[in-house]
Amino acid sequence: MWIRTNDLVEVISGEDRGVRGKVLRVDRKSGRLVVEGVNRVYKHIRRTQRNPQGGRLSKEMPIAACNVLLVCEKCGKATRLGARYLEDGSKERYCKSCGASNGPIAPPRARYAKKA
């Protein structure tokens, strides 16, 4: 999964289809992420001394990472991501539709550097 915190993503399936939002949290173990303004639910809060009024709290819940696409910063479209090695041997994410870079994945390694 190449989606990170603070990436702009678009939901492609489910109730919130077509909504764009910022990724707040990523859980790589379960393959889910929390997107700002997506999959909101109400949590009912009991009256306590700390919260004397009680009520309903609206919060975002995790969605599956396969239900979102990264929005490319250059072309502005929701697109799939690819990975490629650069000349110095570092690995980066790139937009499959326009080919623009979307940030590094791994530091340079001599094994993957292009021979000059």
**Beta strand residue intervals within the chain, DSSP E:** 8-11, 20-27, 32-35, 40-45, 55-60, 63-64, 68-71, 78-79, 81-85, 91-95, 101-106
Structure tokens at 103: 């940030």
Q: Give me the mean pLDDT over the 52-80 stretch.
A: 94
For the chain, the domains span: 1-71, 75-116
User: Tell me, what's the pLDDT at 18?
Assistant: 94
Check whether 102 has a pLDDT greater than 80.
yes
| Residue % of the chain over a pLDDT of 70 | 99
> What local confidence, expressed as pLDDT, does residue 114 receive?
86
Amino acid, res. 69: L
Average pLDDT on 84-109 reads 93
pTM listed for this prediction: 0.83
Contact call for residues 59 and 36 (beta carbons, < 8 A):
no
Q: Tell me the pLDDT tens digit for each residue of 10-59.
A: 999 999 999 999 999 999 999 999 999 999 999 999 999 998 999 999 99
What CATH code is assigned to 1-71?
Answer: 2.30.30.30
Per-residue pLDDT at 116 exceeds 80: no
